[in-house]
Structure 1
Amino acid sequence: MNDADAAPPQGESRLIDHLIELRARLLRAVLGLVIVFVALLPFANRLYAWLAKPLLAKLPAGGQLIATGVVSPFFAPVKLAFFAALFVSVPWLLYQAWAFVAPGLYQREKKLALPLLVSAVSLFYAGCAFAYFLVLPAVFAFLTRVTPEGVAMMTDIQAYLDFVLVIFLAFGASFEVPVALVILALLGWVTPRQLKESRGYAVVGVFVVAAIITPPDVVSQLMLAIPMCILYEVGIIAAAWVAPAGPREP
């Protein structure tokens, strides 16, 4: 048997190279996340104190969070530090994914994919910031007003963390509407004209989604629905700009 017979097929060799590259990118991504997580651990309690400000600011004087679980005072800040590390590391994680897939993309796909990634990350961050600085204070102001007289509002730190993370995820994901519309237009599944004609259905759907994922008060529902409607219009404009030109209609 000669060397040519012993050598692996070209396709198999390329697959092995891709798997090695994928492993390297995954290891770099995980290593970056671990480094950020370890760096944030000493500040875990400060991070939780910062996260609790929207609620504590609306509680009566002397109001505070409580820990009903024995290990909650330890695990809640550590859990927050991990999610904060994940939040901070998103650009690094996406860069590793981009570096892996970019060599296989055409030039036009590269020109479109990179702005979409940057826009998606920026909009997710914007949604989380909007939730923290505007939505959470409004929600907690409403909840403190409707608390029955004689009832002390003392929330468990783990329950509070879970609630805030869900709100962050909901608003961060909701702010991705323009990116989602652009991707649908690029795939040819919808056209800008169809998006305009479906505007009424989209508005109804937005308010239904807002009613489902927000607390039961009108203020928070409007604070999610109105930005989503605006972002829907932004998505239509962006989709019209990047959508492939089709045949002219008579």
Structure 2
Amino acid sequence: MRRPLHRRPAAAAAVLAALLVLTACSSEGTGDAPKAAGPTPTRSAAVPDRQAEAAESAGPSASASASASKGPVVPDAQLKPVTGSFTEKEKKYLSGRVPVNTDPAAVLQTGQESCQRIERTAKRDKDAAIGAIVAGDIPDAEAVITHLCPAQQPLLAAASTGFGEGTVEAPKAGSYRALTTNPACAWQALGADGKVLASGPAPGAQGPVRANVPAGTKEFTSSACYAWVPA
């Protein structure tokens, strides 16, 4: 007597399930990690950042290397690029600024990029360039300009007469203007007894902000004003 045909598919399914279980167990035993669905993105796929690349080639932070190093530095006699040579002005700029185990050419490049930034900014807006120097946005600007782009000395001279926002002790009396259009810029001048001698704009200030610093001012404080220069 023949068995019913409808039982055969069920038996076949059971055998197939058993085979799948055995296959899964054997694959777990190999210890192979599952493969990624697609290729892993590499850093080269990112947008190039030349300044970041210069910092990496310098070892320590390139921005930190731009200023005179506080740790061990490469002796002046050993300040030599891999190829070519440094000019006398470049050597003077690098003196005391190249940490040990750092490529001096990378430190020089950082300074040169600062010069380029100053020059580009000054072409568009001299006040913006002066403000960046006053506010410290250009690291070690005095050395950078003096040794690497002396043509920008007038900007450095103008910046030397100003000061940044925050608290300034005993500022020179006179009229100053803020190098910003921020309507939140506010200031006040305090006397030796802590009394307010003068104060100015915000809220809702419009146009350039000016401050008249009276004689005898002990402290001048400001916020959201970026930088000040004589008016």
Richer in strand (by share): 2
Normalization by structure 2: what TM-score? Answer: 0.25
Question: Rg: which structure is higher?
Answer: 2
Normalization by structure 1: what TM-score? Answer: 0.24
Richer in helix (by share): 1
Higher relative contact order (CA 8 A, sep 6+): 1
